[in-house]
Amino acid sequence: MAMQKIINEPKAFVDEMLEGVLLAHPESLRAAAPRVIVRAGGPRSGKVGIVTGGGSGHLPLFMGYVGFGLADGVAVGDVFASPSSEQILEATRAVDGGAGVLYLYGNYSGDVMNFDLAAELALAEGIETSTVLAGDDVASAPAGAEGRRRGVAGIAFLYKVAGARAESDGSLGEVDAVVQRAAAGLRSMGVALSPCVVPAAGRPTFSLPAGEMEIGMGIHGEPGVRRGALEPAHQIAEQLVDHIVADLPYKAGDEVAVLVNGLGATPREELYVLYRSVHAALAAAAITVRRTWVGEYATSLEMAGASVSVLRLDDELLGLLDAPCDSPFVVKR
Amino acid sequence: MAMQKIINEPKAFVDEMLEGVLLAHPESLRAAAPRVIVRAGGPRSGKVGIVTGGGSGHLPLFMGYVGFGLADGVAVGDVFASPSSEQILEATRAVDGGAGVLYLYGNYSGDVMNFDLAAELALAEGIETSTVLAGDDVASAPAGAEGRRRGVAGIAFLYKVAGARAESDGSLGEVDAVVQRAAAGLRSMGVALSPCVVPAAGRPTFSLPAGEMEIGMGIHGEPGVRRGALEPAHQIAEQLVDHIVADLPYKAGDEVAVLVNGLGATPREELYVLYRSVHAALAAAAITVRRTWVGEYATSLEMAGASVSVLRLDDELLGLLDAPCDSPFVVKR
Amino acid sequence: MAPAPAGLVRALSAAASALEGSADELNRLDGYAGDGDLGITMSEAARAVKDALAASQDQEAAQLLSTCGAGIARKAPSTSGTLVATGFLRAAKAVAGSNGHGVDILEQAFVAALGGIQARGKAAVGDRTLVDGLDAVCTSLRESLQAGRGLGEALHFAAAAASGATDKTVDMEPKVGRASWVPQRAIGHPDAGCAMLAIALTAAAAEVTAAGPGTRPGLIC
Amino acid sequence: MAPAPAGLVRALSAAASALEGSADELNRLDGYAGDGDLGITMSEAARAVKDALAASQDQEAAQLLSTCGAGIARKAPSTSGTLVATGFLRAAKAVAGSNGHGVDILEQAFVAALGGIQARGKAAVGDRTLVDGLDAVCTSLRESLQAGRGLGEALHFAAAAASGATDKTVDMEPKVGRASWVPQRAIGHPDAGCAMLAIALTAAAAEVTAAGPGTRPGLIC
Ligand SMILES: Nc1ncnc2c1ncn2[C@@H]1O[C@H](COP(=O)(O)OP(=O)(O)O)[C@@H](O)[C@H]1O
Ligand SMILES: Nc1ncnc2c1ncn2[C@@H]1O[C@H](COP(=O)(O)OP(=O)(O)O)[C@@H](O)[C@H]1O
Ligand SMILES: [Mg+2]
Ligand SMILES: [Mg+2]
Ligand SMILES: [Mg+2]
Ligand SMILES: [Mg+2]
């Protein structure tokens, strides 16, 4: 399998991508240091800063969530690899407006270690930080071991909640608390239909024969919970919703927001076919969908597949979801 | 090649997709008739209505451009197939606010015939219409035969211009005139790296060996102008820009908006790598990029590849591009 | 109101079946320089025709043709589908306003269809479209009329004329439609829309000839 | 300020080369239940070490170890890269504050590295990580110290201990990191991080033994 990619030297992929982003969106984004991107406007004094980061290859994750009503800065790793603590520290310094900085990112041990290290270094410089991890993928560890779960597309809801609360001048503790509450009621699960190719590796991350699918696969191609024949959309939807609803558990009468996320190569049309059955499966569990996001919110290069995320709502969370946000990648009015 | 798709019965694909869209976005969209989608709010009296339409499989095209500051209604065809004149007429009736209706769609003979037929039927009912065709693909016919060119992703700019002018209460003639001017200064060209599979057909639309690319391919897999070995991103960018700039011709000193569009499976990261070189190639021609859109604005299911569109700007067009718009698929603030 | 003649019903049904059976071939021909969907479109059109026929018991010929046209326009709104629908609708009008009986009314129907299709599609003879086939069919029907041929024979001549026109398109450059975007790729293959017409007419002619003595010979009335 | 001993430079260089040469193998092992990138990460780490060595002429041992750690942290910030970087930085501190000469200071360095890695990664012995290998190495170095072994011999024993610990991981369930998400898929294969430690130590031991009489025997000072 040759790489059907529009790239130059694989080694230059991340840096050239960043150059392109900065050329395309100079009014929105600027580089505070190599591979450290922040909002062009700089930190607003008194606002809690929000720093995120992770591997490249997941756009709009993570950089795409740097913008008004979202995060303030991002440390950009190599493809599917953690950024360094040095980059995270640079981002932290650049977005600090004196009210402390929230670290919001996915639960991967490389990222955790580097963010923790950066937090220690930031504190030594007098910048207080607080951390919320997205660990929404129910396929990655059983109930009772939630702390070990990896973060996937559901983090999009957390950025929205965190950013809106920070824009409305919440304190670091207040922002942290509402995002923790959101994270506690957030569950995701996905299905992969084809692998992707990391440019520097030049080979598919895994092999999946045509006609098969893998339920529960991670966004870097981490093995899932079950591989089998490709099933119709409605069966896929039912399984994903069953796992998600069984896990929290969501109760009849709950109101939720739903995200149907494409992993990269799956057409938007298919995401809506999937959502149709997700909606029905949730309705069957007497769970009401109040808000629906459908599209690419966290990808794995050109992987085919989709994930479903469900966020339990309360009035405050609904209000924060409805607040406007604006980045070159994610806009809500 | 099995179909690695999240679907149910291929025959039900379009209707199930539409059900999903309406379930996901009830506050924004409603069905005025089978496969006829309009803005939920109904027509605003005195505003020029904008109707579009075309085959399915191109989301966000065409339905995604129904929203505030964009189009008002869409006739949804089968995958890659024209909608019927009956659907177009229904959309026309549903969006008519008494100020006439602009038909804005891509130059494909099936669509042209059905929109023309609908226009005759609408006129018989007392609804005045006017038509602007997107024919931006320079690869589809030589200079001098612009009228035969097919429409591709550049139409996104035309929706933006048309919708903004209509929201600011332009007359049908005024809206038509500014969109015609935009269309006259709009050029696009693309490259395909892999085919897509139409669900009802079950086979790839064309075959393209790994390691090859086809420059100038149409968004339904229509043959392009040249097939050859896959080249680095910067060479692809230079060729696309050369064709585009030579065609209008854009002059040194011109200001333009640029759209780098993904065809479906190509990661956003690659689109930015491509934009980096597009920007450089335009700068080398002394053309200044004032606005940049990067993402999926017109897809071909899971086709891999990208297109570049260039819109010559003047003050009015720039202002219309910067006006807000809001649909479930396309939001600008 | 006289019900549509059995010959017309059988001819249309045979043409529809032949198009369904040639779907892959038509997709293939349309694929050389077009988008490879003519077989899909014509299968939809064939289904629309069969639906119209199934509900045709009491309809007269003009009404049946008009129902076919409306159904095709609704179900198969591609370039060729829309044009064929236009052809049916124009033929229906011509038939309703005529007192012809045999080959004369068939000729009037096809001339009307061609006129409507050219008005809608703006293709000239020689542009390498189904207009080339239709033009040859109209010429052939006029000759059959002058030669005093019977309906079945005239249909066979018309089918042969459509096939001949199709063969001629092999070396022609497409001037309109999708195929005109890459004209050189079409050369060496017949035009798909023209081939479609030949397939439909050949099947209709064979069916009318095969129709036993129990069926009424008239096609239109 | 004494420059770093040639033995240390050669041992680090040999370990780095061995890791680069084992990249595919390490990717493969990490792929069974992880994300298959340990070889890529360790190649980056090896390059960072070599860059540090190339600029090491006048650095003393503690400074060289610290430069290695900082370089790895910057260039290879994955789980294992960050942990290895932490290990180097802690070892550097231990070495700088010690008056040891031979196996004693080596043991102090490894104990400090293990402590730092456990503080950062929160893995216990038995969780099936490189902590298992490091723990076995520390035990082995303590024994070598008590047994009065020389530096080269102690290093060989340490490498053997790391290999033995790696073998033991084959039947162990992963309790932390990526592999813990699909613990059953790891069984039957050794832990990749543990294997990485064994490969590095084996190469270092071989290099130190092979070092001719012209080189200084000391590893740290
Ligand atoms: N303007 C036209 N007038 C008459 N026939 C046309 C015209 N354009 C195309 N055709 C015919 O239609 C055929 C293609 O039909 P179809 O596949 O339905 O078109 P598309 O897929 O482009 O909508 C061509 O082979 C040609 O015979
Ligand atoms: N918490 C931890 N503490 C110590 N070692 C760990 C820990 N988590 C993982 N490891 C080691 O790291 C190895 C994987 O490293 P690496 O591939 O760099 O991780 P990742 O790709 O998940 O960031 C594992 O084989 C294991 O030995
Ligand atoms: Mg990794
Ligand atoms: Mg078509
Ligand atoms: Mg076609
Ligand atoms: Mg790994």
Give the pLDDT score at C34. 85
Q: What is the DSSP string of B182-207?
A: HHHTEEEEEEEEE--B-TTT-SBSS-
Helix runs in chain A, H state only: 13-24, 85-95, 109-124, 155-167, 172-184, 233-247, 268-284, 315-322
Give the pLDDT score at C113. 98
* Residues A194 and A331 sit within 8 Å (Cβ to Cβ): no
Is the confidence at residue A206, as pLDDT, over 90? no
Give the pLDDT score at C29. 95
How many other C-beta atoms lie within 10 A of the C-beta of residue B121?
Answer: 17
- C181 contacts B140? CB cut-off 8 A: yes
**Which tens digit of pLDDT belongs to each residue from D163-214?**
999 999 999 999 998 888 888 889 999 999 999 999 999 999 999 888 654 4
pLDDT band at residue A1 under the 50/70/90 scheme: very low
Contacts of A268 in chain B (CB under 8 A): 59-60, 64, 296, 299, 329
Considering only A170-174, A313-317, C175-179, D18-22, which range has the smallest mean pLDDT? C175-179
Q: A220 or D84, which is more confident? A: D84
**Which tens digit of pLDDT belongs to each residue from D105-136?**
999 999 999 999 999 999 999 999 999 999 99
Contacts of C181 in chain B (CB under 8 A): 139-141, 148, 150, 218, 222-223
Give the pLDDT score at B2. 61
Any chains having at least 3 CB pairs less than 8 A from chain D are: A
For range B225-252, the mean pLDDT: 94
Considering only A161-170, A246-255, C209-218, D62-71, which range has the smallest mean pLDDT? C209-218
**Catalytic pick from A220, A234, A243, A279?**
A220
**Catalytic pick from A25, A58, A234, A279?**
A58
Percent of chain A with pLDDT over 90: 90
Rounded CA separation C134/C191 (Å): 13
Quick one: tokens of D153? 């011999």
**Which tens digit of pLDDT belongs to each residue from B109-134?**
999 999 999 999 999 999 999 999 99
Distance from CA of C187 to the nearest CA of B (A): 14
Q: Whose CA is nearest to atom 9 of ligand 2?
A: D177
Rounded CA separation D133/D144 (Å): 16
Is the confidence at residue B220, as pLDDT, over 50? yes
CA of C94 to the centre of ligand 5 (A): 29
**B290 has a chain A CB within 8 A of its CB:** no
Report residues near ion ligand 4: CB below 5 Å.
Answer: C 35, 37, 78
Rounded CA separation D140/B295 (Å): 57
Rounded CA separation A262/A297 (Å): 7
- Residue D54, phi then psi, degrees to nearest 5: -65, -25
**Which tens digit of pLDDT belongs to each residue from B183-199?**
999 999 999 999 999 99
Percent of chain A with pLDDT over 70: 99
pTM over 0.90: yes
Is the confidence at residue D215, as pLDDT, over 50? no
Candidates A113, A149, A222; nearest CB to D35 = A222
Tell me the three state secondary structure of residue B144.
coil
Q: Which ligand is nearest to the CA of D76?
A: 2
CA of B181 to the centre of ligand 1 (A): 29
Chain A: residue whose CA lies nearest to B301: A267
Name beta bridge partners: B30: B38
Question: Burial, B252: exposed, middle or buried (Cβ in 10 Å; 0-12, 13-18, 19+)?
Answer: exposed
Candidates C40, C86, C177; nearest CB to B201 = C40
Give a yes or no: residue D178 inside a domain. yes
Quick one: tokens of B211? 């390691």
Q: Which atom of ligand 1 is nearest to the CA of C42?
A: 18
Give the pLDDT score at C57. 75
Give a yes or no: residue D220 inside a domain. no
Give the pLDDT score at C220. 65
**Which tens digit of pLDDT belongs to each residue from A254-310?**
999 999 999 999 999 999 999 999 999 999 999 999 999 999 999 999 999 999 999
**Which tens digit of pLDDT belongs to each residue from C178-197?**
888 888 889 999 999 999 99
Distance from CA of B126 to the nearest CA of A (A): 35
In chain B, CATH 3.40.50.10440 covers: 12-184
Rg (CA), chain D: 16
Give the pLDDT score at C55. 85
How many other C-beta atoms lie within 10 A of the C-beta of residue B249?
Answer: 12
**Which tens digit of pLDDT belongs to each residue from C122-167?**
999 999 999 999 999 999 999 999 999 999 999 999 999 999 999 9
Determine whether the shortest distance from the Cβ of C118 to ligand 1 is under 6 A. Answer: no
Is the confidence at residue C212, as pLDDT, over 80? no
C92 sits in which H/E element? helix C79-96
For an interface test with B, which of C78, C86, C130 has the most B Cβ atoms less than 10 Å from its Cβ? C78
Question: Burial, B209: exposed, middle or buried (Cβ in 10 Å; 0-12, 13-18, 19+)?
Answer: exposed
What CATH number was assigned to the domain covering residues B12-184? Answer: 3.40.50.10440
pLDDT band at residue D2 under the 50/70/90 scheme: low
Give the pLDDT score at D99. 81
Name the residue with tokens 């070396």. C171
Closest to A97 in 3D by CA, of A24, A41, A47, A30? A47
pLDDT band at residue C72 under the 50/70/90 scheme: very high
Give a yes or no: residue C221 inside a domain. no
Is A220 known to be catalytic? yes
How many other C-beta atoms lie within 10 A of the C-beta of residue A99?
Answer: 20
Q: Which atom of ligand 2 is nearest to the CA of A82?
A: 23
For range A207-229, the mean pLDDT: 89
Chain D: residue whose CA lies nearest to A142: D181
Percent of chain D with pLDDT over 70: 94
Rounded CA separation B227/D84 (Å): 48
Give the pLDDT score at A197. 92
Is B243 known to be catalytic? no
**D81 has a chain A CB within 8 A of its CB:** yes
- CA torsion, ordered A14, A4, B134, B50, to nearest 10 deg: -70
Name the residue with tokens 């009318």. C208
pLDDT band at residue D57 under the 50/70/90 scheme: confident
- D73 contacts A205? CB cut-off 8 A: no
CATH assignment at residue C70: 1.25.40.340
* Residues D17 and D170 sit within 8 Å (Cβ to Cβ): no
Give a yes or no: residue C16 inside a domain. yes
Name the residue with tokens 């603030």. B333
For range A153-164, the mean pLDDT: 98
Rounded CA separation D39/D35 (Å): 11
**Residues 43-102 (A) with a CB less than 8 A from some CB of B:** 56-57, 59-60, 64
Q: Which ligand is nearest to the CA of C180?
A: 1
Peptide bond into B249 cis (omega under 30): yes
Q: What is the DSSP string of C111-175?
A: HHHHHHHHHHH-PPTTSSSHHHHHHHHHHHHHHHHHHT--HHHHHHHHHHHHHHHHHHHTTPPP-
Q: C59 or B325, which is more confident? A: B325
Edge to edge, the sheet with strand A29-33 lists A29-33, A36-39, A73-79, A49-56, A101-106, A129-134
- B116 contacts C74? CB cut-off 8 A: no
* Residues D60 and D92 sit within 8 Å (Cβ to Cβ): no
Name the residue with tokens 């893998």. A214
Any chains having at least 3 CB pairs less than 8 A from chain C are: B
**Which tens digit of pLDDT belongs to each residue from B25-63?**
999 999 999 999 999 987 899 999 999 999 999 999 999
Rounded CA separation C204/C110 (Å): 14
For CA atoms D157, D160, D162, D164, the dihedral sign is negative
Please tell me the total count of domains within chain D. Answer: 1
Contacts of A260 in chain B (CB under 8 A): 24
CA of C34 to the centre of ligand 5 (A): 5
pLDDT band at residue B1 under the 50/70/90 scheme: very low
- With touching defined as 3+ CB pairs under 8 A, do chains B and A touch? yes
Determine whether the shortest distance from the Cβ of B10 to ligand 1 is under 6 A. Answer: no
Instruction: Note down the domain range covering D37.
Output: 6-215
Chain B: residue whose CA lies nearest to A275: B20
Is the confidence at residue B156, as pLDDT, over 60? yes
Which value does ipTM take for this structure? 0.93
Is the confidence at residue A23, as pLDDT, over 90? yes
Is the confidence at residue B247, as pLDDT, over 50? yes
Give the pLDDT score at C35. 85
For range A30-54, the mean pLDDT: 96
Q: Which ligand is nearest to the CA of C36?
A: 5
Is the confidence at residue C217, as pLDDT, over 60? no
**A309 has a chain B CB within 8 A of its CB:** no
Give the pLDDT score at A92. 98
Determine whether the shortest distance from the Cβ of C41 to ligand 1 is under 6 A. Answer: yes
Name the residue with tokens 């892959």. C24
Give a yes or no: residue C220 inside a domain. no
Give a yes or no: residue D105 inside a domain. yes
In chain A, CATH 3.30.1180.20 covers: 186-322
Helix runs in D97-150, H state only: 103-121, 130-147
Q: Whose CA is nearest to atom 15 of ligand 1?
A: C80
Give the pLDDT score at D218. 65
Site to substitute for ligand 2 among A109, A113, A198, most atoms within 8 A of C-beta: A109
Tell me the three state secondary structure of residue D123.
coil
Question: Burial, A44: exposed, middle or buried (Cβ in 10 Å; 0-12, 13-18, 19+)?
Answer: middle
**Residues 140-159 (A) with a CB less than 8 A from some CB of B:** none
Asked: is A186-322 a CATH 3.30.1180.20 domain? The reply is yes
pLDDT band at residue B202 under the 50/70/90 scheme: confident
